[in-house]
Amino acid sequence: MLMYCRQVTITLMLLLCGATVCAEDAVAESEAPTGLYQISQQLIDANYSEKAAIAAQIAAVDSDRSLLILQALLDGNLYYKKDDNSLLIVADEDNIRNAFTDEAVTDLGRRDKRKIGVNNSLRGTLRSLISQAQINSKNVEIRTAAATNLLKNSDDVDLEFVQTALGKEQNSDVKEILSLVRGLVLLKSDDKSQRLEGLNALEGSLYPEVRAGLTQFSAGFSEDEQKSRADEYKLVQKYLADINSMLSLNGYAENLYFGLALGAVLLLAAIGLAITFGVMGVINMAHGEMIMLGAYTTYVVQQLMPDHIGLSLIVSIPAAFLVSGAVGVAIERGVIRHLYGRPLETLLATFGISLILQQAVRSIFSPLNRQVATPDWMAGTFMVNPALELTWNRLYIIIFSLLVLAMLALVLKRTLFGLQMRAVTMNRPMASSMGIKTGWVDALTFGLGSGIAGIAGVALSQLTNVGPNLGQAYIIDSFMVVVFGGVGNLWGTLVAAMSLGVANKIIEPMAGAVLAKILVLVFIILFIQKRPRGLFALKGRAVDNA
């Protein structure tokens, strides 16, 4: 009996201790949310300066919930209910949740809640606080974004915090950005050695925030300080001059890249014309509309495959080639073949066809421009350095244009159709006497040129809106490329397209877009006076028929 009582007593004591421990844990768990709740509630009645201090207190609470509240406040999604002052996170009117329990809040009218406002100064403070909380994340991308935000809001960063984060960081890219943050913070120091250390840390950096920080630091020197602190002043001026020089070089590199991209577009637009005008001698004023048809084909295919944007663009390439090529064959069989040897009538007829095609598109799709979505793998930019970011879509178009040119050269040099086309071009009577059906070769050649123009429309749909007048913007430039490069010469077309594209983009910043085109046109006119057959003139028997 005594033994039984002892066992009962021990069991009760263990249960009591366990209950006490559980109760203490429950209290400990409830104290943190309660503290965060009490601090956060102060945001409701606080002014902007008080909100900054309250936000710092919220950030000091070691809880995922504190980061969620700060982010909602920054995004303008933090509200409170008017009847009980409970904090809400409002993603949209159909997604309202309690900021602390995540419980959905329904049947809440617009007048039943009020937003907790922020101003620009408070937004900067919030970004800094959020970044400081995220800088310890295990995810490198989150740490990189956090360090970049600290760089943008270095005025609110504590030196000790940055040095601690810098000491723990292992990733070289994040470490570099944190070093720049530390340098900007040191510029505000009263200690000369620390300011010099900060200047040296910022040397050669192309981040806009660094340049702005150095410019602000330089502007703070009075005339007397320029003499008394000459070493600092000369150093910051040297670093600014070096940065401006590097920015200028990066600007030229960016213009060169945009020029190559424009050249790629002109190349795609002019390759087809190099065949119809350069090889066949037909002045096709409807060539721009072949480009337009290719762009509209891309739009239609994307509407048929709305859930597969990336795949739809790839499908659009052969589809646009077939549509524009078929229209080109129809134009040649129905109109052009009756007008060979009469260039003026050909020009007027194809101009009329271009108007018909434009009006047909307006009737089918309406006169409004159509937006073609860009696939994820073509969207965005890649960063060469902090001062130079290049777009993926232009890089893909440059590569694509070169591939199209290579494929066309392969068709002309290595296929029976290419051999027959060159034979008809050089000597039509002889080709006909050898059994070549010159009429159908003409039709297929015209269709090939029109089909490639349709492929150009696919590329253009990724750079601009698709509309009835899309092709008109490129028809004149296409003729300029063909004439400048040499009539009927594909490699001349490549060199001419890239040259004109780069020249346009280099002149534009200095003279403007319109004057740049005028200057390029004047140059081509003068050049043709000296070399009427262009950069790469045809040789041999082809000259007599050119």
Q: What is the pLDDT of residues 211-241, one digit of tens each?
A: 998 998 888 888 888 888 888 888 889 999 9
Query: Apex CA 261: angle with CA 292 and CA 309, to 5°?
Result: 55
**Residues 6+ away with beta carbon under 8 Å from 307:** none
Query: Apex CA 276: angle with CA 272 and CA 279, to 5°?
Result: 110
Question: Is residue 147 situated within a structural domain?
Answer: no
User: Would you place residue 538 in the very low, low, confident or very high pLDDT band (cuts 50, 70, 90)?
Assistant: low
Domain that holds residue 493: 251-381+392-545
> Mean pLDDT over residues 401-411, rounded?
91
Question: Is residue 405 situated within a structural domain?
Answer: yes
Residues 114 and 257 in one domain: no
Residues 256 and 113 in one domain: no
Residues 113 and 261 in one domain: no
pLDDT reading at 30 higher than 70: no
Q: What is the pLDDT of residues 261-285, one digit of tens each?
A: 999 989 988 888 888 876 677 888 8
User: Looking at 77, 105, 121, which one is the last position of a domain?
Assistant: 121
pLDDT score for 143? 86
pLDDT reading at 4 higher than 70: no
Residues 261 and 117 in one domain: no
Instruction: Identify the sign of the CA torsion 110, 115, 119, 121.
Output: negative
Q: What is the pLDDT of residues 358-372, one digit of tens each?
A: 999 999 998 888 888
- The pLDDT mean for the chain works out to 83
Question: Is residue 154 situated within a structural domain?
Answer: no
Question: Is residue 203 situated within a structural domain?
Answer: no
User: Looking at 86, 121, 156, which one is the last position of a domain?
Assistant: 121
Check which CATH number belongs to the domain holding 263 and give it.
Answer: 1.10.3470
Mapping DSSP to helix (H, G, I), strand (E, B) and coil, where does residue 92 land? strand
pLDDT reading at 54 higher than 50: yes
Question: Is residue 196 situated within a structural domain?
Answer: no
Question: Is residue 51 situated within a structural domain?
Answer: yes
Domain count, the chain: 2
User: Would you place residue 455 in the very low, low, confident or very high pLDDT band (cuts 50, 70, 90)?
Assistant: very high
Q: Which of 291, 289, 313, 288 is nearest to 301 (CA)?
A: 313
DSSP one-letter code for 232: H
User: Would you place residue 20 in the very low, low, confident or very high pLDDT band (cuts 50, 70, 90)?
Assistant: very low
User: Looking at 121, 148, 171, which one is the last position of a domain?
Assistant: 121
For 288, 299, 336, 345, 424, the CA distances from 350, given in Å and listed in that order, are 11, 25, 8, 9, 22
pLDDT score for 362? 92
For residues 408 and 452, the answer to whether their CB atoms sit within 8 Å is yes
Q: What is the pLDDT of residues 509-537, one digit of tens each?
A: 888 888 888 888 898 888 888 888 877 76
> Mean pLDDT over residues 159-180, rounded?
87
Q: What is the pLDDT of residues 38-51, one digit of tens each?
A: 888 888 888 888 88
Question: Is residue 452 situated within a structural domain?
Answer: yes
H or E stretch covering 113: strand 113-115
Question: Is residue 435 situated within a structural domain?
Answer: yes
Q: Which residues of 314-334 are buried (b: 16+ CB within 10 A; e: fewer)?
A: ebbbebbbebbbebbbebbbe
pLDDT score for 256? 92
What's the pTM? 0.75
- Alpha helices by DSSP H, 305-391: 309-334, 343-365
Q: What is the pLDDT of residues 119-141, one digit of tens each?
A: 888 888 888 888 877 887 778 88
User: Would you place residue 546 in the very low, low, confident or very high pLDDT band (cuts 50, 70, 90)?
Assistant: very low
